[in-house]
């Protein structure tokens, strides 16, 4: 199969039981029918089954972190572990 973006032949890899087609040139990723469902199911199982939402959308009054502690997207400098999805698409 060829990449719909640049016409390069797609490579196939299997990660955690999920078959992924990817383009080595543009790094695009394509999934066969049902593969996205497998990814969603596995991610939900590993995350504990549910998504937790934050109860406090704004910083509390006593939170005096400066804007310098955050990048331009509002995230702190700490990085999360990659986890299942990071491992799945690391190629």
> Does 16 score more than 90 pLDDT?
no
Q: Is residue 59 part of a domain?
A: no
How much of the chain is in helix, strand and coil states, percent to nearest 5? 25, 20, 60
Q: Is residue 17 part of a domain?
A: yes
Residue 33 structural domain: 9-45
Residue 39 CB partners (closer than 8 Å, separation 6+): 18, 31, 85, 88
Q: Is residue 40 part of a domain?
A: yes
SS3 42: helix
- Looking at the structure of the chain, the number of domains it has is 1
The model's pLDDT over 63-73, given as tens digits with 9 standing for 90+, comes to 555 555 555 55
- Rg of the chain in Å (alpha carbons): 19
Q: Is residue 22 part of a domain?
A: yes
Whole-structure pTM over 0.85, yes or no?
A: no
- The top-scoring range by mean pLDDT among 19-33, 50-64, 66-80 is 19-33
């Amino acid at each position: 199969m060829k990449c719909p973006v640049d016409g390069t032949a797609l490579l196939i890899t299997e990660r955690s039981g999920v078959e992924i087609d990817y383009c080595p040139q543009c790094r695009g990723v394509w999934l066969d029918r049902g593969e996205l469902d497998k990814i969603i199911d596995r991610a939900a199982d590993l995350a504990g089954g549910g998504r937790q939402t934050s109860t406090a959308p704004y910083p509390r009054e006593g939170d005096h972190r400066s804007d310098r502690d955050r990048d331009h997207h509002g995230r702190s400098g700490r990085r999360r572990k990659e986890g299942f999805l990071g491992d799945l698409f690391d190629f």
